[in-house]
A and B are shown apart, each in its own frame.
Chain A
Amino acid sequence: MTETRHARRRSELLPALGAAPYFVFVGVFLLLPIAVNLLTSVRTPDGVFTLEPLLRLGEEQYRSAFWNSTQLSVVTTVIGGALGLLLAWALATTQRPAWLRDGVLSFTTVASQSGGIPLAFAFVALLGTQGLLTTAIAELTGWNLAETFRLSSFTGLTVVYLYFQIPLMAVLMLPALSGLRTEWQEAAASLGAGRARYLKDIALPILTPATAGALLLLFANAFSAYATAYALAGGGANLVPILVGFFVSGNVMMDYSFGAALSTGMIAVITVAMVLRWLLTRRTTRWMQ
């Protein structure tokens, strides 16, 4: 009896052992740091449980940082989502000219992964005070763009974020749009449905979960972006990732608990978005076989 039980236990233990390096690695370099972060945000330096750091997130400066980050994320998600959907539609339905479609597709894939410092400086070269477009407009019309438009402002960050949000939406929606079969439209037409009816009753319901899921990913993407905003606005932008960065780099590292609380708040926002996305895409995959 015990022999077989031992044997069975060993046969269950061995598989887990082979995967142990992976689980240990993820544990040490991802799970434990997050756990320590969460714990630190609900403890005083002496180790007593407290909600005070998390409650301080409600203070004016930090509330406005969360508000700014949310606004920036929502605006770039809505505009980027709409334009990205349009682009995905154009990519999915265009057959010719093939060079144009393939060229745009390749550009789209690369742009969706862009961001960070290089993108910020490329936009400075385009729209900064001495930027190419700024000087071109000034020469042609005498109007100085730089007086009304700054890359470090909310509008400026929105334009730069759209550079990766639009193509990201297109890349995410392309499989779903290509999955719409032409037979469905023909079947609907043979039953007497017009184009509008087909869109409203068939295409939209099928695409809704995928679209919502993609929008949530865009939101999370914008909410956690750090490098682009940092390069364009330096410390000037009152955004959550920038504030967390201040606490890490030691400018204000006096208060570990509060820095951890900021970071906990940020993880919480993104977790909500990603859990919603997971729930929605579970439904889509059933349809998109």
Chain B
Amino acid sequence: MNRTSTILRIAVLLGAVSFFALPFLASAYFGFTLPGRGFTFEPLMRLATGRSAFWDQLGRTLLLALCTAVVGSALLTSTLLWLHLRARKLLPIAEGLSVLPFVVPPVALVMGANLFFRSIYPGFLTHLLSLVPFYVIITMPLMYRALDSGMLALDLRTLVDAGKSLGARRLRILIQILLPNLAPAMIASSLICVAMVLGEFVMASLLLHNTFPVFLAQAGQDNPRAAAALAFLTMVGTWLLLAAVARTLHTPRRPQ
């Protein structure tokens, strides 16, 4: 490789880093300083203490993230195991359905859900946890892929046959062989799911549920410095979650 192209490549990488880092740095600086005071937690503290809805709304979002990860993992892991072992013919259909949420923007899904459930069960959408199934739907394309590739890498049939030949029953094969081997894929897909739910704003705000992103949006109207601080913490948190996903998937595993 010649020198000019090396210099150009380094320049591109440095340029990218600066562009990606600037909003991070700006939100940290703007959020954690006050004019003439230097570094301070004051804007953030004012937002999080007193009669603030902060903890309530953060708690709601964490509850939603947990429920979505649990429901999504249970539904997709059991379905995919079943399809891989018993009904391979149905795999293409299931996979086709799993990417469908890519075509339906969340705002359009809210519109449809609103029309549909208003006509059959009007009270449903007023429950906070009614968001869970829709969050499972919007996180499904990524979760499905993470779990599916985890299963493809395993050679499930051999594992099951090996377990059977050693005299293990189905439940034991599931609990002692399949699930431990699938754990990295399940953890990774759950983390992706949590990262997405922590940032989900459209459905929660339009269905009038006060979750953490809704709180953040409101805070931005009244208190831009505190909002910047929270935005910074949220972005760093999401980064850590996604870094954990990459770690879980790339750590070499010993067969169990």
Contacts and interface: CB of A to CB of B under 8 A. Distances in A.
Interface of A: 14-16, 18-19, 21-23, 25-26, 28-37, 40, 86-87, 89-91, 93-94, 100-101, 103-104, 106-111, 113-126, 128, 130-133, 163, 166-167, 220, 223-224, 226-227, 230-231, 241, 244-245, 247-249, 256, 259-260, 263, 266-267, 270-271, 274
Given A106-B246, A224-B107, 8 more contacts: A15-B87, A15-B90, A29-B137, A111-B20, A163-B20, A224-B108, A244-B108, A244-B111
A121 B116 contact: no
Contacts of B100: 26, 30-31
Contact of B133 (A29, A100, A110, A131): A29
A114 B238 contact: yes
A34 B216 contact: no
B171 interface: no
Contact of A109 (B16, B213, B227, B246): B246
A206 to B, nearest CB: 20
Contacts of B202: 226-227, 245
A107 B17 contact: yes
B59 interface: no
B242 interface: yes
A117 B213 contact: yes
B231 A125 contact: yes
A249 B214 CA distance: 14
B232 A122 contact: yes
Given A116-B201, A122-B24, A267-B103, A91 B13 contact: yes
B162 interface: no
10 contacts: A21-B79, A25-B136, A31-B100, A33-B117, A89-B12, A104-B16, A118-B231, A124-B228, A263-B108, A270-B104
B107 A121 contact: no
B105 A270 contact: yes
A133 B19 CA distance: 12
Interface string B79-93: 100110011011000
A274 B102 contact: yes
Contacts of A19: 79, 82-83, 87, 90, 94
Interface string B100-121: 1111111111111111110100
B27 A121 contact: yes
Contact of B234 (A34, A107, A118, A266): A118
A248 B13 contact: no
B163 interface: no
A157 B97 CA distance: 32
B54 interface: no
